[in-house]
Each structure stands twice: as C-alpha cells, then as structure tokens.
Amino acid sequence: MPTVLIASDKFKGSLSAAEVADAVGAGVRSVLPSARVVAVPVADGG
C-alpha cells in the first residue's frame, strides 16, 4: 500500500489549505483506492 503525503498551502481567495488537501486526497484515492493519504495543511507564513 503506497503512502501519499499532501502538504498543501491555501489557494488564496478560493480554498483553504485544508480544503486543498481534501480535494487532492480525494483525487489520489480515486486513482489509488488502497493508498494511505496523509494530509498536512501548511502555511508559508507570509
């Protein structure tokens, strides 16, 4: 089972970092249903 780490930042004005991580995770799971997805929303501090 592969592990995929998603360390996303926000899409300014449209999605929060958590929403980006959720969307990317859903995409990964649609292609690799057995993948372990670890989502870590991050910020660049600026």
Domain segments of the chain as ranges: 3-41
Which residues touch 24 (CB under 8 Å, ≥6 apart)?
A: 6, 8, 39
| Per-residue model confidence (pLDDT) at position 15 | 93
Rounded Cα–Cα distance for residues 33 and 16 (Å): 24
Q: What is the pLDDT of residues 1-46, one digit of tens each?
A: 899 999 999 988 899 999 999 999 999 999 999 999 999 988 766 6
| Per-residue model confidence (pLDDT) at position 45 | 66
| Per-residue model confidence (pLDDT) at position 43 | 76
